[in-house]
Amino acid sequence: MHALGATFRHACAVEQQVKPVSVLLVDDDEDLRLLARLALEDDPRFAVLAEAGNGFHAIAIASDHQPDVVLLDLDMPWLDGAEAVPHLRHKAPDALIAVWTVTPESRRAAEAVELGASTVLDKFSVSPGTLGDHIEKILGDHRRLLDERRPAVERRGTDLPSAGPE
C-alpha cells in the first residue's frame, strides 16, 4: 500500500511538471482578447504569455519571448495578420501561427497560410470553451510537421557518426 501511494505521488509530481503551452494573443479587439485570455487562463494546458493589439507589437513580443502559439487576428490596423505572418515566422520559427478571423474562406486568410501561417480558425465556430481544444489539436499536427521537416540527425540528438581516423 505504501509503494502505491509513492507511485501516485510521483505521477502527480510528473504531471505538475508539464510546462503549459505559451500563447501570444494578437487582436485589435480588446473584448475578444479578454475572452480568449480568460478561456485559456482557465485551462491548465495553456499560459497566456502576452497580448498585442497589432502585428507590430506581436512581432516584437514573439521575438523576445518565443511563444509556442500565436493566435493572430487577420484584420487589424497598421500591420494586419497576413502581413505579420512572415515576420512572425522569421522571429519565432517554431511557433504555431493560428490566424483567427471572421472570414476564414477569404483570399486574405489563404494568403496568410501561403505566407507561413499554420492554420486558420473561424472566430464564429471556435467558442471560448473550445478554444483550448482547437489549439491543442492543431498544435499536435504542427509539432508532427516540424518533426518531419527536421533532419533525422537533429531528431536523434547528437548521435553523429565519427569522422573516422584523422
Q: What are the structural domains, with CATH classification, of the chain?
A: 19-148 (3.40.50.2300)
Classify residue 158 by its DSSP letter.
Answer: S
Predicted confidence band at 140 (pLDDT cuts at 50, 70, 90)? confident
Q: What is the pTM of this model?
A: 0.77
Q: Which residues make beta-bridge pairs with 31? A: none
Q: Say if residue 3's pLDDT is above 60.
A: no
Q: Express each pLDDT in 78-98 by its tens digit.
A: 899 999 999 999 999 999 999
> Strand (E) positions, the chain?
21-26, 46-52, 69-73, 96-101, 119-122
CA distance 166 to 155: 27
